[in-house]
Amino acid sequence: MGRREDTDLDRELADLPPKLRWREWMRRIEAVLFASSAPVARDDLARIVGQGASVDLLIEDLAVDLEGRPYEVARVGAGWLLRTRPAYAPAIRAAADVGGQALNLAEFDLAVLAAIAFHQPISRDGLKDIFGREISRDLIGRLAERDLIGTGPREPRRGAPYTFVTTETFLAAFGMESLRDLPDLEQLDDAGLAAK
């Protein structure tokens, strides 16, 4: 199902002086990011600004405009979202009901999620090799239900099992722009945080 093109939206704003036009485009991007529960792709944002307007530059200016505010523009995967700055997390937890948004994953669930993130694409057999035991379909299902993982390419071997990969939801949940933001495995090992 495609998105409906809104013919009532004046994208060009030709009647506004250039500075006000730019500011209005920034506000439109902010409004879309505010209303979206998932990262918004560049192509989607380009539908609300004038032809030839740089979404990247608009987002850069919006980020500067939001400095000193309790939320920021964050790049997640191929899109952007608005998120609360980490310094305000304790205030939000103290005053708002955000329990349903917490990951609340068991330690082993987090370990499996980390293994998938570091070794993706990885099959259940690959996870079994790492943990020395079978990883339950229920655990994989819980991670998939929360959209933290998805299916990757099938393994190129007999039976062609599915592999697992992390999602943009995973990146957003852990405050990462891309998988390049994962800690280096050698650094984790040096710190004694990586299991053999």
Instruction: Report the CATH number that the domain containing residue 151 is assigned in CATH.
Output: 1.10.10.10
Q: Judge whether 3 lies within some domain.
A: no
What pLDDT does residue 2 have? Answer: 46
Regarding whether 108 and 173 lie in a shared domain, the answer is yes
Mark whether 78 and 131 lie in a shared domain. no
pLDDT tens digits, 58-80 = 999 999 999 999 999 999 989 99
Our count of domains for the chain comes to 2
Instruction: Give residue 98's pLDDT.
Output: 65
- Where is the domain boundary, 64, 89, 114? 89
**Closest C-alpha to 84, from 168, 95, 57:** 95
User: Dihedral (C-alpha) 108, 111, 117, 120: value to the nearest 10 degrees?
Assistant: -70
**Is 170 part of any domain?**
yes
Q: What SS3 class is residue 187?
A: helix
Task: Give the ranges where the chain is alpha helix by DSSP (H).
Answer: 18-35, 42-46, 55-65, 89-95, 107-119, 124-131, 137-145, 168-173, 185-190
Q: 166 and 128 share a domain? A: yes
In-domain check, residue 132: yes
Could you tell me if 113 and 160 lie in one domain? Answer: yes
Residue 4 lies in a domain: no
Note whether residue 166 is domain-resident: yes
- What residues of the chain score a pLDDT lower than 50? 1-2, 196
Q: Are residues 109 and 69 in the same domain?
A: no
**60 and 107 inside one domain:** no
| Full residue range of the structural domain in which residue 138 is found | 103-190
What confidence score (pLDDT) does residue 1 get?
A: 39
Per-residue pLDDT, 156: 81
pLDDT for the residue numbered 186: 78
Q: Give yes or no: residues 107 and 184 share one domain.
A: yes
| Alpha carbon 109 to its chain's center | 19
Residues 179 and 111 in one domain: yes
The answer on 170 and 138 residing in a single domain is yes
Domain stops at, among 38, 62, 89: 89
Looking at the fold, whether 33 and 80 belong to one and the same domain comes out as: yes
